[in-house]
Structure 1
Amino acid sequence: MKFKPHKYQEYAIERICETPGIALLLEMGLGKTVITLTALEALKNDYFDANKILVIAPLRVADDTWARESEKWDHLKHLRISKILGTAAKRKKALEADADLYIINRENVPWLVAQTGKHWPFDTVVIDELSSFKSSKSQRFRALRKVRPLVQRVIGLTGTPTPNGLEDLWSQIYLIDQGERLGKTITGFRDRYLSPGQRDRNNGNVVYDWKPKPEAENTVYSKIEDIAVSMKAEDWLDMPERIDRVVPVKLSDKARAQYEQLEEDLLIPFLGGDVVANTAAVLSNKLLQMANGAVYDETRGVREIHEAKLDALEDIMEAANGHPVLLFYAYKHDLDRIQERFKQVRTLRKGSEGTKDIADWNAGKIPLLAVHPASAGHGLNLQDGGNLIVWFGLNWSLELYQQANARLHRQGQQRSVIVHHLVTEGTMDEDVMAALDSKAVGQDALMAAVKARIERVKGS
């Protein structure tokens, strides 16, 4: 296929070639992979400014998306790709192969750094989904930080650079410019731009979250504007309409009584005390499980409460009348119950089997594809297979929510995308849905919702 770049793609390609360290904050669907591959091809073969290129990506994207994208476009088909994946022996063999691009999953970055040591061979590094390096404490960040001085060019790609707040930005930008703009340490960044939020009651030195100081966001963004390109799909593409539907799920009187009893038993111990972030997360997790219809007990057994969401999904499947449905679930017991009710459901597998699943979906061969949003959040092109999404279970991550929906609502989609949210009335589902609508998800929203439910139980 001949590549005819949009104006914004031409601009992004030019910026990559001109800027040794750059962050492309491209919203989902803008074609960041073909943009980057086109720039890399030019840097390597036209400008002779890139020799050995490494792409770091989520596992499924590393295994499928980059190679498939290069095969798709005429000007990229000649690129030789070596995937540093699989067993240690396979990774070593791939590392030693003669190729234009080497692709590794982000979990194996520490292995690669340890394997190459001071002889790090890559002068150009692409970090696909830069936000997955947002934790300065993670092994992947610390490993890549060690070899960063040996890299001449870094290209970071993400659509969600600050999914949980401004603090997420420091480590990502550090990998781009080695601390030139936002400082050499996370501690210094916090001192300049953030204020401590909630602290541990027993150890005041432990801070659970950080709040931006006044004008901090504007200051930070102005400091990185010369190395960051930010674009939204709606500004550049004639995207198909996305229609969001909330499907209210009503519980029977018996199920409602059972749910409320379990909720009360769970929340009552906290009526007289404080709820800190880690406790709130546990409580929210339990309440969302119950809203979906089942909950893990203290022995990891599954206690089923209701089948109302399964019934609602059955109604949607019937109305779909054979059109493929992409279903996002939250918990293993959700999937188990879905598989028991809907025999036609397929799951997205790993490796070559997962590649076949993607091809079958895009060919219209899968009527119901069940996927956990964490395993399909980045890079999967599923827009050819359908336009219907169902959220069986919601979660608090705005990043996962946006990325998952963008599997269908992206460039190349020919129809309006309809996103159904199954929301159990009177449960934590409603709080998460409201937070997602306002894009105010995060620790503050989670804790506020849990505390509100405790107060409701207290007042009942």
Structure 2
Amino acid sequence: MHFKPHSYQEYAIDKIIELPAVGLFMDMGMGKTVSTLTAVLELLFDYFEVSKVLVIAPLRVADTTWTDEVDKWEHLSELKVAKVLGTQDERIKALGAKADIYVINRENVSWLVERYKARWPFDMVVVDELSSFKSPKSKRFKDLKKVLPYIKRIVGLTGTPAPNSLLDLWPQLYLLDRGERLGKTLTSYREKYFLPDKRNQHIVYTYKLKPFADEDIHKQIGDICISLSADDYLELPERIDNIIKVKLPEKVMKQYKEFEKEQLLELQGTDITAATAGVVVGKLLQMANGQIYDDEGEVHKIHEAKLEALSELVDTGQPLLVFYNFKHDYECLMSAFKNPRTLKTSQDIKDWNEGKIQLLLAHPASVGHGLNLQAGGNIIIWYGLTWSLELYQQANARLYRQGQKNNVIIHHLVAEGTVDEHVMEVLQTKDKGQQGLLQAVKAMI
């Protein structure tokens, strides 16, 4: 296929070539991968700036997306890609292959760093979904940090740079500039821009921005971080967000309120307890969906209110992409409907996009990045909600992206009077904070 870049893609390509370090905050579906590969092609064969490129990506993306994009576009045909995946022997063999780009899943970053150490051979690194390095305590962050001095060029790609708060930004920027803009440590960054918020004596649980701190942060990173929004550059079909309120049976609501208050529920002769607030919330989410695990890991069915609401949508006969939260949700959905499918192989993706699947079940973490599913349908149903804004946005972007021909309808099954309602509020609140960051560093072409 011939590649005719949009103006925003040309801008992104130019910036990757121009800047040794760049954070490309592009909405899902805007062609981050092909833009990056085009820039890499030029840096390899026109500018001779780099010789060996490493791409770090989520496993499914590493396995399919980067090679698929090279195969798809004519101008990328001379690029050779090696997938450093699988067993250790398979990874070692792939590293020994003659290639331009080596793609590895992020879980094996530490293994790769340990293997090479000071002999690090990759002069350019692309981190696909940079936000997956948002924890400075993670081993993958600490290990990648060790080899930064050997990296000549680095590109960070993400559509969700601050999925929870601007605190998430520091580790990602550190990988790009080694602390030049936001400080050498998370502590110094936090002290400069944040104030303690929720706390218990000396233990601080959350932080809030100091007045005007967000503006200063945006200003500091604006020279190497480029934000490109689909709303500004793409004519996407309309996205319709719909909340379907699900009323739980009176008896169930009584049990729900009892557990919420007492953190103890007697069910079918079994006591279900919750030791911490986090466990309570998790159990309440399970109850809202219709089933709950007891202390021994056994599943207890409580109601079918959400299942009945979903059945009405399934009866329309339209292709549906349904996101679930818990394993017992998945098992319930698999047994309740005829011939549901899950995404396990590339054939499943192909069948969905060819209209051969009516009901596709997926956990948001399994389809969060890079998969193109927009050809197979335009309706998403959130059977069980997620607290993660990043997973939520990325999952929705599997259908609401460039190439979608129809208006995208996103149904949220929300149990009235339950924690479901709070999850929706939290997602919306986090989204506002992230949009402030993206707006501030937006590149107006």
Q: Same fold (TM over 0.5)?
A: yes
- 1:441 is displaced (CA, Å) by 8.9
The answer to whether the 8 Å contact 2:165/2:430 transfers is: no
Partner of 2:437: none
Q: Distance in 2 between matches of 1:433 and 1:24?
A: 28
1:257 CA drift (Å):
3.5
In the alignment, what sits opposite 2:82? 82
Check conservation: 2:126, 2:156, Cα contact below 8 A.
Answer: yes
1:213 to 210, 215, 227: 210
**Aligned partners of 1:398 and 1:441 also within 8 Å:** no
1:229 equivalent in alignment to 2:220: no
Within 5 A, what are the aligned runs for 1:145-294? 145-201=145-201, 204=202, 206-266=203-263, 279-294=276-291
1:346 aligns with 2:341: yes
Contact 1:259/1:305 (CA < 8 Å) preserved in 2?
A: no
1:107 aligned onto 2:104: no
- The answer for the alignment partner of 1:363 in structure 2 is 354
**Shift of residue 267, structure 1, vs aligned partner:** 7.4
Cα distance, 1:440–1:31 mapped onto 2, change above 3 Å? closer
1:78, distance to aligned residue in structure 2 (A): 2.4
Please tell me whether residue 414 in structure 1 is matched to residue 411 in structure 2: no
SS of 2:147's equivalent? helix
- Report the CA distance between 1:235 and its aligned residue: 0.4
Aligned partners of 1:34, 1:106: CA distance in 2, in Å? 20
Q: How far has the Cα of 1:146 moved from its partner?
A: 0.3
How many angstroms apart in 2 are the aligned matches of 1:188 and 1:424? 42
1:284 deviates by 1.5
Q: Show the counterpart of 2:325.
A: 330
What is the SS of the residue equivalent to 1:170?
A: helix
Q: Deviations over 1:27-58 (max 9, x none)?
A: 11211011101111111111111110000000
Give, in angstroms, the shift of residue 291 of structure 1. 0.3
- Matched residues, number: 424
Deviation at 1:89, TM superposition (A): 0.6
Match of 1:458 in 2: none
Q: Deviations over 1:132-178 (max 9, x none)?
A: 00111110000000000000000000111111111111110111111
**Structure 1 pair 441/430, CA: closer, same or farther in 2 (3 Å)?**
farther
1:310 is aligned to: 307
Partner amino acid for 2:90?
A: K
Q: AA paired with 1:297? A: D
- Report the alpha carbon displacement of residue 282 of structure 1 after superposing the two structures with TM: 2.1
1:295 aligns with 2:286: no
Displacement of 1:261 = 3.6
Give the letter for the 2:224 counterpart.
Answer: I
Question: Aligned with 1:326: secondary structure?
Answer: strand
C-alpha displacement at 1:70, in angstroms? 1.1
Shift, 1:116, TM fit: 0.8
Structure 1, unpaired ranges of 5+ = 269-277, 443-460
What is the aligned counterpart of 2:415 among 412, 421, 424?
424
Q: Which runs of 5+ in 2 are unaligned?
A: 266-274, 434-445
Sort the Cα spacing of 1:385 and 1:440 in 2 relative to 1 into closer, same or farther, 3 A.
closer
Q: Secondary structure at the match of 1:223?
A: helix
| Structure 1 residues 360-383: Cα deviation after superposition (integer angstroms, max 9, x where no partner) | 111111111111111111111111
Match in the other structure for 2:386 = 395
Is the 8 Å Cα contact of residues 258 and 305 (structure 1) preserved in structure 2? no
Shift of 1:281: 2.5
Deviation at 1:211, TM superposition (A): 1.7
Deviation at 1:266, TM superposition (A): 1.9
CA RMSD of aligned residues (A): 1.7
Name the CA distance, whole Å, in 2 between partners of 1:390 and 1:176. 37
Q: Quick check: 2:258–2:264 contact (8 Å CA) kept in 1?
A: no
> Which residue of structure 2 lines up, in the alignment, with residue 43 of structure 1?
43
Quote the residue 2:11 is aligned against.
Answer: 11
Classify the secondary structure of the residue corresponding to 1:327: strand
3-state SS of the aligned residue for 1:303? strand
Give the letter for the 2:356 counterpart: K
- Matches of 2:284 and 2:53, distance apart in 1: 46
- TM-aligned CA deviation for residue 195 of structure 1: 1.7
Q: Compute the displacement of 1:208 (Å).
A: 2.1
